[in-house]
Amino acid sequence: MNTLKAIANDWVPSLSVYEPGRPIEEVARELGFSDQDEIFKLASNENAIGPSPKAVQAMRQAAKNMHLYPDGGAFYLRRALAAKLNVPMDQLLIGHGSNELIELLGHAFLHKGTNIVMADRAFIVYKLVASSFLADTIMVPMKDLTHDLDAMLAAITPQTRIVFIANPNNPTGTMVDGAALDRFMARVPEHVAVVMDEAYIELLPPEKQPDTIQYVRQDRNVFVLRTFSKTYGLAGLRVGYAAAPKDGIDLLHRVRQPFNVNAMALAAAQAALADEEHVAKTRTLVADGLEYLCRSFEKLGLSYVPSVTNFILVKVGKGRDIFTALQRKRVIVRPMDPSGLPEYVRVTVGTKKQNAHFIRALKEALKEIRG
Ligand SMILES: *Cc1c(COP(=O)(O)O)cnc(C)c1O
């Protein structure tokens, strides 16, 4: 009999565990599907057309050098990002996905007695990270499933260290515009760091992307987080980045591991960044897919939350039951009860074939569950 739980830090055994989208292999094992059964995972907002072919080529090249440690400073990827974003290289830090960057922010800013402010239907990882640093989470209700920035400002206390804004937001698929962010930034107090988590920003046409990098150039208390997991189709590699004033990047460097991003991920991300064609293709696929899904939901009499991202919330009644029924029909979506939206499931926009299969399966699942 071990005593591990008894000797662990006393807050750790009660921390919540994140429930990710279910892996295809796990569902296949559980439900007894064979290798020939195609299972569609529309649960984690991955890119339905896969990684950029240029990234795959770069990974092949990089594979030959896997006996060498990566460049811990990520020089070439930072140089490419600096040119693209028009910020100096020392205002950029590469992370093992933006999830790692969120954790590094916790290391740098959070401890017992501090708090974070976030929206109550925003990305749940912020709260999980805050809890692991013994910081409190102030949940601010959304308005129409959209960030209510005025209410978030009003919720800030002297102990607040970070305000998290996921924009566009996961799981709601909604966003706030640049003017709203400008008003927020004009009023946010100086003892707070604002984290703009822009995991889906590249899916928006450039003219609709709020210019948040300007706050970095203005030397404000801001961290802009982005990722190669979604639009760039590299979720399996784990690579994201933060743009922030040099002082902020310096802090994160002190709390990161020396080789936090692997060499294959660095090579692939750099190649993907240069592949504009793949980004354009992805935007078109997502726009067409969303239109098809919305039309189909309307035909089925289901309401949904209009989305600017590659996923959408649809109101199905008993979300957890529909999620379970859909798995038997070889589609994995995401139940939303952990996000406080038990009547919804979240579905990622897939290929044409995947979307059509999902709609057929949903129709059947609704019939079964409603009886
Ligand atoms: C998917 C997602 C991330 C990205 O996570 P990675 O660790 O970069 O894969 C971050 N924030 C939000 C809101 C997301 O939806």
Is pLDDT at 370 greater than 90 in this prediction?
no
Of all protein residues, the one whose alpha carbon is nearest to atom 3 of ligand 1 is 199
CA-closest candidate to residue 149, choices 163, 168, 135: 163
- Closest atom of ligand 1 to 238 CA is 9
Q: What is the pLDDT of residue 211?
A: 98
| Structure token pair of residue 310 | 């590659």
Is pLDDT at 36 greater than 90 in this prediction?
no
Q: What is the pLDDT of residue 335?
A: 97
For 265-318, how does the pLDDT look when each residue is reduced to its tens digit (9 = 90+)? 999 999 999 999 999 999 999 999 999 999 999 999 999 999 999 999 999 999
What does pTM read for this prediction?
0.97
Report yes or no: 130 and 139 within 8 Å, Cβ to Cβ.
no
Please tell me the distance between residue 199's alpha carbon and the centre of ligand 1 in angstroms. Answer: 5
For 37-65, how does the pLDDT look when each residue is reduced to its tens digit (9 = 90+)? 899 999 999 999 999 999 999 999 999 99
pLDDT (average), residues 229-250: 98
Instruction: Among 124, 197, 237, 260, say which to mutate for ligand 1: greatest number of ligand atoms within 8 Å of CB.
Output: 197
Please tell me the distance between residue 323's alpha carbon and the centre of ligand 1 in angstroms. Answer: 22
Of all protein residues, the one whose alpha carbon is nearest to atom 1 of ligand 1 is 199
Q: What is the pLDDT of residue 261?
A: 98
Confidence class for position 35, pLDDT limits 50, 70, 90? confident
Alpha carbons 197 and 327: distance in angstroms, whole number:
30
Is pLDDT at 79 greater than 80 in this prediction?
yes
Q: How many CB atoms lie within 10 A of CB 27?
A: 18
Long-range contacts of residues 236-239, Cβ cutoff 8 Å, at least 24 apart = 237/262, 237/264, 237/265, 237/268, 237/269, 238/96, 238/97, 238/100, 238/262, 238/265, 239/94, 239/95, 239/96, 239/97, 239/265, 239/266, 239/268, 239/269
**% of the chain at pLDDT higher than 70:** 100
Please tell me the distance between residue 65's alpha carbon and the centre of ligand 1 in angstroms. Answer: 28
Instruction: Among 46, 99, 195, say which to mutate for ligand 1: greatest number of ligand atoms within 8 Å of CB.
Output: 99
Please tell me the distance between residue 253's alpha carbon and the centre of ligand 1 in angstroms. Answer: 20
For residues 316-337, one letter each, b for 16 or more C-beta atoms within 10 angstroms of the residue's C-beta and e for the rest, the string is bebbebbbebbbebbbbbbbbe
E strand or H helix that includes residue 5 = helix 4-7
Please tell me the distance between residue 308's alpha carbon and the centre of ligand 1 in angstroms. Answer: 16
Q: Could you tell me how many residues make up the chain?
A: 371
Specify whether domain 4-50+277-370 bears CATH 3.40.50.300.
no
194 beta partners? 163, 222
For 83-105, how does the pLDDT look when each residue is reduced to its tens digit (9 = 90+)? 999 999 999 999 999 999 999 99
Amino acid identity, position 95 = G
| Structure token pair of residue 329 | 């029909």
Alpha carbons 245 and 256: distance in angstroms, whole number:
17
Please tell me the distance between residue 363's alpha carbon and the centre of ligand 1 in angstroms. Answer: 30
- Closest atom of ligand 1 to 123 CA is 13
Report yes or no: 165 and 194 within 8 Å, Cβ to Cβ.
yes
For 103-145, how does the pLDDT look when each residue is reduced to its tens digit (9 = 90+)? 999 999 999 999 999 999 999 999 999 999 999 999 999 999 9
Is pLDDT at 371 greater than 80 in this prediction?
no
Confidence class for position 158, pLDDT limits 50, 70, 90? very high
Task: State whether residue 93 is helix, strand or coil.
Answer: strand
For 165-191, how does the pLDDT look when each residue is reduced to its tens digit (9 = 90+)? 999 999 999 999 999 999 999 999 999
Is pLDDT at 19 greater than 90 in this prediction?
no
Of all protein residues, the one whose alpha carbon is nearest to atom 14 of ligand 1 is 199
Please tell me the distance between residue 202's alpha carbon and the centre of ligand 1 in angstroms. Answer: 13
Mean pLDDT of the chain: 97
Find the angle CA(154)-CA(155)-CA(159) to the nearest 5 degrees.
120
Per CATH, which fold does 53-273 belong to?
Aspartate Aminotransferase; domain 2 (3.40.640)
E strand or H helix that includes residue 138 = strand 136-140
Residues with CB under 6 A from ligand 1: 45, 97-99, 123, 166, 170, 197, 199, 227, 229-230, 235, 240
Q: What is the pLDDT of residue 119?
A: 98
Q: How many CB atoms lie within 10 A of CB 176?
A: 18
| Residue-range domain boundaries for the chain | 4-50+277-370, 53-273
Instruction: Among 19, 229, 237, 239, say which to mutate for ligand 1: greatest number of ligand atoms within 8 Å of CB.
Output: 229
Alpha carbons 107 and 253: distance in angstroms, whole number:
11
Q: What is the pLDDT of residue 108?
A: 98
